[in-house]
Amino acid sequence: MRPRLFLLRRDLIRSSQHPRAFAQSTTRRSSLRTRPQLPFLSVPSTTQRVRFLTTERKARLKQEIKLGIKITTYIWIAAGCIAVAAVAVSQDLLEKDYPTPHEWSFKTRLHFRGAFCERDQTDPARLSSPIMIINWIQGCVERLEDPSIDGKDVRDAPPDRPPGSKDITAKSENWRRGYYEAMMMYAKAAEHVDGWVKDTTRDVLFPGEMVIGPSNPKPRPLAPGYKGAPKEENCVRAYEPADDIYLRIIGTEGLTSRQRIDATLAFASWLEFKGVVGPAGILYEDALDQAISERPSLPAEPVDRKTLTLHDAAGQPSTNLLNSLTALATFKARHGEATGSFPALVSILRARRNLPPSASIVASAPDPSHDPTDGSIAHINKKLWTQLKSHIGTLPYPPPPDDGRSPPVRDAKEICEEAALNLHIGEILYASKPATREEGLGWTRDAVDIAEEQLHRLRPTAEHRPARDKCRECLSTGLENWAAMVRRLAQEEAEREKAAAGQPKKASWFGLWGGASEEEHKNRWVAEEKVIEERQRRAQGLLEELEPTANGLAALFTA
């Protein structure tokens, strides 16, 4: 018994030390008996710490970053190579249209081509910017005159020459010719920005008409894009005047007589445009004197100083003589001496028509060796090889042109000059007196026919660009003159009919033909106006400078 009592007593003591289960706290109970911590039984928690950047993941991120940098570098290198290749190809194509001397550095040639390309751009969405043109060509001229760049052996002209003139006799003929073209472009660009000023407070360019100051009491309103009119005390001249540039060209040592005469005529035309008629006339006469003095061995004086007509005894006139005499005669015709300049223009036209024909006149017959219908593999390979050779390698600089001392040949450009002379003669005859109006109209018709025919014959290449430009200008002016003349004659005819409407008509035999001649005369001008409209519509494609369709390798990159 005693052992059993002892065991029972011990159990009671133990149970008194541990309370009943239903009276215990849940927290305490859970602390005494917990569930096993297994991953699939645990409750997700946001405060749980997870190690994201493990050793393996860190190595993988380093490898991806290196690969991304490598791929990005390759892409930029490829893009840079493509950009450089595109610039090289574009400059090579521009070199064909605007050749530059090979002695010049690449940047100088880039400035030269940029100016001409901006001048001749054909994008209909915008116009050529005179600011961009003069900035391009000014940079080219500065580099050519800098002894440390492309102006080695270029010296200042003697003191008796205009300030800024250079002596370029030590340079090659190609260098001198390129320098002359750059300077002429510089002068032409300066004409378009004549009077422009620079506001030093804002470093902004403005036309001179917008400046507020004592010298411009009525300033022009600001154009869109400008903010705040400039004040005269804050402005300086933006660019060198065209007058000074022309004087520098004329005073340059090392130019040919033709280059100097052409620069003199361009300077005279600029002064005439500005209204400075007296000095312009002096320059025209000076150019004629230079052309006459360059051929001292002639048996007789080539020009009659009083009538400005050419003497047949002196032989065929030189190119410089024809150009300077034509410029002087047309200048006199524009300023009240039309009757006196008429004999000079007629003698010039006769002299041009008597020039020997040139073998380089463009023939209308196609090349027999060129068969566009030949589709053989050999012909295609030959054509592709020819195109490839034309795009690879350095293009030779064009040979020097004639210096103008010898008589010209009757080529395509000379025929266009004849059309221009017909226009001048037609204007003079039409404006002289009513009796010669129809004769002047006939000369104008002939000029239009000649110019249109030549534009159809000339190919759109760089070689024929001067002739095409001359004929295009002549055709446009001729059509305008022709339309204005016929319109004026039609109006005068209508006024005469209106004035004679109240007068009785003259009787005629049996009333068969009374007044018929007047009706026919009226219908003639109406019919001729319709003819002019048709000619203008037909010539629209010739007057617009359309780019030729790409062929050969260039067609592969054309949409």
pLDDT of residue 112: 95
Among 341, 371, 394, identify where a domain stops: 341
307 domain residue, yes or no: yes
286 domain residue, yes or no: yes
> Do residue 334 and residue 216 come from a single domain?
no
**How does DSSP classify residue 404?**
S
pLDDT of residue 16: 53
String of b and e for 522-550 (b: at least 16 CB within 10 Å)?
A: eeebeebbeebeebbeebeebeeeeeeee
List Cα–Cα distances, 336 to 333, 342, 428, 554, in angstroms. 6, 12, 11, 53
39 domain residue, yes or no: no
Q: pLDDT 10s digit of each residue in the chain, 559 long?
A: 555 555 555 655 555 555 555 444 454 454 445 556 666 556 665 555 656 778 888 889 999 999 999 999 999 999 999 999 988 888 888 888 889 999 999 999 999 999 999 998 877 777 788 899 999 999 999 999 999 999 999 999 998 899 999 999 999 999 999 999 999 999 999 999 998 999 899 888 888 888 888 888 888 888 777 788 888 898 899 999 999 999 999 999 999 999 999 999 999 999 999 999 999 999 999 999 999 988 777 777 888 888 889 988 888 899 999 999 999 999 999 988 888 888 999 999 999 988 888 765 544 434 444 444 445 566 665 666 665 655 566 778 888 888 888 888 888 888 888 999 999 999 998 888 888 888 898 999 999 999 888 888 887 776 777 888 888 888 899 999 999 988 888 888 878 777 776 665 554 444 444 444 555 556 777 888 888 888 888 888 777 765 444 454 444 434 4
> Do residue 202 and residue 288 come from a single domain?
no
Cα separation, 188 vs 190, in Å, equals 5
> Do residue 260 and residue 229 come from a single domain?
no
Contact between 116 and 98 under an 8 Å Cβ cutoff? The reply is: yes
> Do residue 306 and residue 415 come from a single domain?
no
28 domain residue, yes or no: no
Name beta bridge partners: 156: 166
> Do residue 487 and residue 436 come from a single domain?
yes
> Do residue 230 and residue 261 come from a single domain?
no
Contact between 131 and 193 under an 8 Å Cβ cutoff? The reply is: yes
φ, ψ at 459 (rounded to 5°): -90, 150
489 domain residue, yes or no: yes
Residue 388 is encoded by which pair of tokens? 């490839």
pLDDT of residue 96: 84
Among 341, 356, 388, identify where a domain stops: 341
CA end-to-end span of the chain, whole Å? 119
Amino acid letter for position 459 = R
Helix (H) or strand (E) segment spanning residue 205:
strand 204-206
> Do residue 234 and residue 260 come from a single domain?
no
> Do residue 202 and residue 322 come from a single domain?
no
Cα separation, 5 vs 17, in Å, equals 19
Among 318, 341, 364, identify where a domain stops: 341
> Do residue 431 and residue 305 come from a single domain?
no
pLDDT of residue 167: 93
Cα separation, 410 vs 337, in Å, equals 29
Contact between 267 and 259 under an 8 Å Cβ cutoff? The reply is: no
Q: In degrees, to the nearest 5, what angle opens at C-alpha 164 toward C-alphas 158 and 167?
A: 50
pTM: 0.77
Domain count, the chain: 3
Question: How big is the chain by its Cα radius of gyration, in Å?
Answer: 43
pLDDT of residue 507: 47
Helix (H) or strand (E) segment spanning residue 75:
helix 55-97
Contact between 450 and 467 under an 8 Å Cβ cutoff? The reply is: no
pLDDT of residue 185: 95
> Do residue 231 and residue 264 come from a single domain?
no
Cα separation, 351 vs 370, in Å, equals 37
**How does DSSP classify residue 335?**
T
292 domain residue, yes or no: yes
User: Within 13 A of 219's CA, how many CA atoms are on the CB side?
Assistant: 17
Cα separation, 455 vs 457, in Å, equals 5
pLDDT of residue 432: 82
487 domain residue, yes or no: yes
pLDDT of residue 109: 93
> Do residue 419 and residue 531 come from a single domain?
yes
pLDDT of residue 387: 58
Contact between 277 and 257 under an 8 Å Cβ cutoff? The reply is: no
> Do residue 267 and residue 214 come from a single domain?
no
pLDDT of residue 134: 94
Cα separation, 420 vs 423, in Å, equals 5
Residue 17 is encoded by which pair of tokens? 């030390």
Domain that holds residue 318: 256-341
Helix (H) or strand (E) segment spanning residue 525:
helix 516-538
281 domain residue, yes or no: yes
pLDDT of residue 133: 94
